[in-house]
Amino acid sequence: MKKFKSLFLVLAILFTVVFCVWGTVRIVKYVQFNLNCEAYLKRAADANTIELAKVELAKAIDYAEKNNLTEGIVSIFLKNPANDIEFWYTNLKSAYEELENLTEDTTALEKTNVLMKLRESLTDRDGENGTKAIYPGGIEIYPDNVMYFWWSMASCTALCIFWTLFFIAVGVTVNVKTISIK
């Protein structure tokens, strides 16, 4: 076992790096979605005029369409309705159409009601943090969510196995009372 300690160390470090790359890519994907879609959903919900709401909502819809976020389910195992991308996208489109259907003759009260409805459709209360945009969790990695799942599972499992084998090979033992190195 001791003759394999260098191999175990190299593989442990390799799979640790692979797992860290997975985490970094997930963060980058989340930030990209946040900047290019979620932020515009929040701005559309916070808009004080119909025109401003249409502009901001159009940007979010454009991002969704360019990134194929128009149908599917984010979930891998359990098909939770909260993760239905088609419902979310259809909701965005219908909200935009409602804004488009307002005319010059629409009263201020009707415009205010539409803006209030838009706010309720796009955002949700987030406890003490105020409001947050509504979207399926994990949408930032869709349609590659299965690949990201297996990437994380395989790299995490491999790094745990190879770090364990490395520590066994170098003779690290764990005692209930103390930790000793041979």
Distance in angstroms (rounded) separating the CA atoms of residues 111 and 168: 69
Q: Identify the CA nearest to 43 among candidates 124, 133, 116, 126.
A: 133
| pLDDT tens, residue order, the chain (182 aa) | 677 889 999 999 999 999 999 999 999 999 999 999 999 999 999 999 999 999 999 999 999 999 999 999 999 888 889 899 999 999 999 999 999 999 889 999 999 999 999 999 999 987 777 889 999 999 999 999 999 999 999 999 999 999 999 988 887 655 555 555 65
Prediction pTM value:
0.84
In the chain, how many H helices and how many E strands? 6, 4
pLDDT number for residue 181: 60
**What amino acid occupies position 145?**
N
What whole-number distance in Å separates Cα of residue 171 and Cα of residue 102? 74
Q: Which residue has the tokens 């930032």?
A: 140
- Rounded to whole angstroms, the Cα distance separating 91 from 43 reads 16
Q: What is the DSSP letter of 124?
A: E
Cβ–Cβ under 8 Å, residues 15 and 176: no
3-state DSSP assignment of residue 174: strand
Cα–Cα distance, 115 to 110 (Å, whole number): 9
Domain boundaries, the chain: 2-181
pLDDT of residue 169: 86
> Which among 104, 105, 108, 130 has a CA at the least distance from the CA of 119?
130
Provide the pLDDT for residue 72. 94
**What does the pLDDT read at residue 174?**
56
In sequence order, which residues have a C-beta less than 8 Å from that of residue 169 and are 6 or more positions away?
Answer: 1, 2, 4, 5, 8
Spatial separation of the C-alpha atoms in residues 3 and 23, rounded to whole Å? 32
